[in-house]
Amino acid sequence: MRRRILTVTLAVLLAAFGTAGVLIYVHQANTRALAGQQAVTVLVAKRQIPSGTSALAALRGGLLSSQRLPVSSVPSDAVRAITPELGALVTSAAVAPGQLLLLPMLVPVAQTTSGMAIPAGMVAVTIALCLPEVVAGSVRAGSQVEVFDTYSATGTLTAQPNCSGPHQQQGAGAVHTRVVLPKVLVLTVGAAAASGQASSATTAAAVSSQGTVLVTLAVSQDEAGQVIQLTQTGLPYLALLTSSS
């Protein structure tokens, strides 16, 4: 009987030591994986964060979680902690689960009739684009983009966005492409429904390649005039920016 008790006791101890050994090994493996490269703590959306949510409310509500990532894979504008200054800012658009929280996504509170959080001093302007013109669906709410315009230097550009094929009738004479706005914040991305109204979408990837993508930009009043003009007389195109662009 004593031998049986001793045997059971030894088995339990061995199992405990084995479990502890596995946990120690996993911890050391994670440490080795980060060895040789600096790791930083960043904030990641744990669940969907609605547009207009304050950073402090998102943190207290469990919508944000801290993660340790190699510094080489983290953008320079990633939010590492919610400071008192950042806590009062709100998300300019919905933040998808698993998405890094970036500084451009947080803006001062702005009262609008639509409930959209527009940065102070800015206005919201929407343009209609095809899927290739929004970087094949990679543009999303919170992205920073560069706005291009294709125009005719000698006459009127008669081409119109044609999402089912290439643009046609590009006008006589030389055609040029230029940068209109070097850096603009994207507020929302959605699909144009058959009724003419926009259906909400987090990214343009949710839109069919045959459909029109509606991209809402935060711009100054002068920039709004430029965007509206190029949609009427030229062909707008977006380029996706990174922190090192």
Confidence at residue 234, expressed as pLDDT on a 0 to 100 scale = 80
Q: 192: which 2 tokens? A: 């144009």
Confidence at residue 96, expressed as pLDDT on a 0 to 100 scale = 87
Alpha carbon distance 203, 92 (integer Å): 14
Confidence at residue 74, expressed as pLDDT on a 0 to 100 scale = 85
pLDDT tens track for 20-47: 655 665 566 556 555 556 888 999 999 8
Where in the chain are the domains? 39-107, 123-240
The ranges of the chain with pLDDT < 70 are 1-37, 110-115, 155-162, 164-173, 192-210
Q: What single DSSP character describes residue 81?
A: S
Q: 86: which 2 tokens? A: 């950042």
pLDDT tens track for 96-105: 888 899 988 8
Tally of CB atoms within 10 A around 137: 17
CA 171 centroid distance within chain: 36
Alpha carbon distance 31, 237 (integer Å): 44
pLDDT tens track for 123-154: 899 998 888 888 888 888 878 899 998 877 77
Confidence at residue 204, expressed as pLDDT on a 0 to 100 scale = 47
Q: Which CATH number fits domain 39-107: 1.20.5.510, 3.90.1210.10, 3.40.50.150, 1.20.1600.10?
A: 3.90.1210.10
Confidence at residue 27, expressed as pLDDT on a 0 to 100 scale = 62
Torsion of Cα atoms, 199 then 202 then 208 then 213, to 10°: 70
Q: 163: which 2 tokens? A: 């999402």
Alpha carbon distance 216, 74 (integer Å): 26
Burial classification of residue 150, based on how many CB atoms lie within 10 Å of its CB (0-12 exposed, 13-18 middle, 19 or more buried): middle
